[in-house]
Structure 1
Amino acid sequence: MPTSTFSPAGRHRTTQGIACGAGAGALWGLVFLAPALVRDFTPLQLAIGRYLAYGIISAVLIAPRWRTLVASMERRDWYTLAWLSLAGNTLYYVLLSTAVQQAGIATTSLVIGFLPVAVTTIGSRDRDAIPLARLAPSLLLCAAGALCIGWQALGHPASSDAGGALFGFACAVGALVAWSAYAVGNARALHRLHRMSVYDWNLLTGIVTGIQAVTLIPVSLAAEPVRHAADAWLYLGGVSVAVAVGASILGNELWNRMSRLLPLTMVGQMILFETLFALLYGFLWEQRLPAPLEIAAFGLVAASVLTCIGAHRSHAPASTC
């Protein structure tokens, strides 16, 4: 039975969903610091380290329930896990890490803030979803923010290498596309798999992602010979475990809970919490104040969230969770 997003029960679910989205954003924002902390390693090495740790930790946590979970899984579910793990984890993080190293934390985090446009547009096609026309003000505000992002990236690159900054911006856009596909696919999978808890779904995602990370090790060795000292590898391991626990285990579980509580047309808006915290962490790391265009961009995308919530409030009878 559909539940209005702003009925008494719907308001409670919405509040819970927004809280989970904020918590996931606070944890995911730390991901933008990792490439800056271990700049001597390639983005592929960073992805392998993070997702090997994610996979190993997930395997340990899920071991007691492994046989029961596998018995309940269908072939379609494994295919879904495989492409979601690739789009939302492995490919996304390689592109994200490259973007951070080439274009800077602030530019990369603001590009990811364009995610609501893609996810909301796709979500508006779901049954009983709010019409896209009602979301037009929200999407236009977010698009205006994206224009500020692009202007900042091209006009004020994070490094003296303009070509590198442009390449980093392109990688950030690629990460945006990959994660948009993940956000939509993951939300729909969670609504379909009522028998699966968000906790177990996250751990299964971790195992599949860990397997993908193992297959990338030969590629990494061929592209970049092992040349780091032992203490550098230990440092990478520590950062990888911290990111795996904070962002992949805890952050992903909060995001999955939010994805079940909110309609898809609101799910995309929640990524702006990651943008907010990533910007805060980035400015603290770079020890600078935000540039005017960065302030304008975030103000515009934040306003898009408020107008999206307002649109759902006025469309409450047709909104679903």
Structure 2
Amino acid sequence: MLIGFLCALGAGLMWGLVFVAPLMLADYPGLVLSFGRYIGFGLIALLPAWFDRRHIAALTRADWMAALRLSLVGNILYYAALATGIQLADAPLPTMMIGTLPLVISICSNWAPGHPSEAIAWRRLAPSLLIIFAGLMLVNASELDQLGRPGNARTISDYALGCFITLGALAAWTWYPIMNARHLKQHPHIRSSTWATAQGLATLPLALAGFIGYGVWTAASGSGYDYPLGPRPLPFIGLMLTLGLCASWLGTLLWNKASQHLPTSLVGQLIVFETLSALLYAFLRRGEMPAPQVLAGIVLLCVGVLLGMQAFQRAQARSRAALAGE
């Protein structure tokens, strides 16, 4: 249990980096950050692919097409939207919005076709949803107050657009785990490590093509971006490799290890470490303590997500008990 808990904490600390990187490279477009991160991840995936080449070679054309779709939506589009949203709205509220993912994924997967026995009534979810909404509104009020302070160049329109774009990231990463789990269930012979490596390999050509395409667009439009490596090449390369290694590879490795040592009902709730780590990094970068209302909002978000997850777990336990009784 202790090993599993520490691995989940380590994964959260690694994943939290992806929320602060767009602020550290605020002069780089979100698309460039996404392409750079996944070029790094794809290059890192070449090493495990070599050692797992027998299983990689056994994947079918349909498997590779699925890996391409999942990589496009769950990797490149997700992080491009997230990075852009954070650069426009700063990190706290977008981080809180992404922190609702465990509950949003549970709602969407359980209301999807084929899972009617696991669906639960909205009245059972209402308390957790109201608590989450209250937490988001507290942080939203604090961030709107930040906009009026001296030295803050963000406008309300930037803030609103950033939050809206973050909803796109939320949608992308809601779709990804549902479709990823569906493919693995339909193809149980594929090992999870092989599938993760395959997605890394599938991401590499997509990211390279996108990066080259962005360069063509930059040249044609006369954009002010200094293609290819931007105004600060060394920090850009270093941070992209760090995200590719720590967030994409090491974070996933630690999370898989945690999943092996902890009950499923617990490990799903520990993804809250990602949200807490991202908020910690964001406020460290600001050099200030979170306001009391932000701290209250963070607590409400965590409580709401945990209550919602427990509601789904109770519903699934009742469904299994009913099936066993039959």
**What band does the TM-score fall into relative to the shorter chain?**
0.7 to 0.9
1:103–1:169 contact (8 Å) kept in structure 2: yes
Residue deviations 1:26-54, cap 9 Å, x none? 21101112112222222121111111111
Please tell me the residue identity of whatever aligns with 1:108. P
What is the aligned partner in structure 1 of residue 110 from structure 2? 124
**1:243 — aligned with what?**
243
User: Residue 205 of structure 1 aligns to which amino acid in structure 2?
Assistant: Q
| Distance in 2 of aligned mates of 1:28 and 1:81 | 21
Q: Which residue of 2 aligns with 1:167?
A: 161
TM-score (norm 1): 0.81
1: distance between equivalents of 2:229 and 2:128?
Answer: 49
Q: Which residue of 1 aligns with 2:324?
A: none
Q: CA RMSD in A?
A: 3.2
The answer on 1:57 being equivalent to 2:44 is yes
- Give 1:266 deviation, angstroms: 7.7
Partner of 1:38: 25
Aligned pair in 2 of structure 1 residues 314, 90: CA closer, same or farther (>3 Å)?
A: closer
Distance 1:175 1:262, change over 3 A: farther
Instruction: Map 1:1-321; keep pairs closer than 5 Å.
Output: 21-71=8-58, 73-125=59-111, 126=115, 129=118, 131-133=120-122, 134-154=124-144, 156-157=146-147, 159-221=153-215, 222-223=217-218, 224=223, 225-226=225-226, 232-255=232-255, 269-308=269-308, 310-311=310-311, 314-315=314-315, 316=317, 318=319
Larger Rg: 2
- Segment drifting more, 136-145 vs 275-284: 136-145
Q: Could you tell me how far apart the structure 1 residues matched to 2:229 and 2:318 are?
A: 61
Tell me which moved more, 114-123 or 241-250: 114-123
C-alpha distance in 2, partners of 1:196/1:16?
Answer: 26
CA distance in 1, matches of 2:183, 2:42: 20
Question: C-alpha offsets along residues 150-181 of structure 1, whole Å, 9 cap, x if unaligned?
Answer: 44455544644221111111111111111111
Distance in 2, Cα, partners of 1:21 & 1:140:
27
Aligned-pair CA distance for 1:67 = 4.3
Deviation at 1:273, TM superposition (A): 2.1
Is the CA contact 2:20–2:282 (under 8 Å) kept in the aligned structure 1? yes
Identical amino acids, percent of aligned pairs: 33
CA distance in 1, matches of 2:247, 2:105: 21
CA distance in 1, matches of 2:51, 2:192: 17
SS of the equivalent of 1:33 reads helix
Bigger shift: residues 21-30 or 310-319: 310-319
Residue type of the partner of 2:45?
Answer: S
Aligned equivalents of 2:241, 2:17: Cα separation in 1? 13
Residue 282 to residue 167, structure 1, CA distance change in 2 (3 Å): same
CA deviation after TM superposition for structure 1 residue 218, in Å: 2.9
How many residues align? The count is 305
Q: CA deviation at 1:18?
A: 6.6
Gaps of 5+ in 2: 322-326
Give per-residue Cα distances to partners, 1:226-260, cap 9 Å, x unaligned. 35889821221111111111110122234456678
The answer to whether the 8 A contact 1:29-1:281 is kept is yes
Seen in structure 2, the aligned counterparts of structure 1 residues 266 and 141 have a Cα distance that, compared at 3 Å, is farther
CA distance in 2, matches of 1:17, 1:130: 29
Cα distance, 1:96–1:319 mapped onto 2, change above 3 Å: farther
Matched letter for residue 201 of structure 1: W
Distance (Å, rounded) in 1 between the aligned partners of 2:98 and 2:186 = 26
TM-score by length of 2: 0.80
Amino acid of the structure 2 residue aligned with 1:56: L
Give the drift of 1:25: 2.1
Does the 8 Å CA contact 2:102/2:309 hold for their aligned counterparts?
Answer: no
* Mapped partners of 2:230, 2:304: distance in 1: 47
User: Does the Cα contact within 8 Å between 1:103 and 1:166 map onto a contact in 2?
Assistant: yes
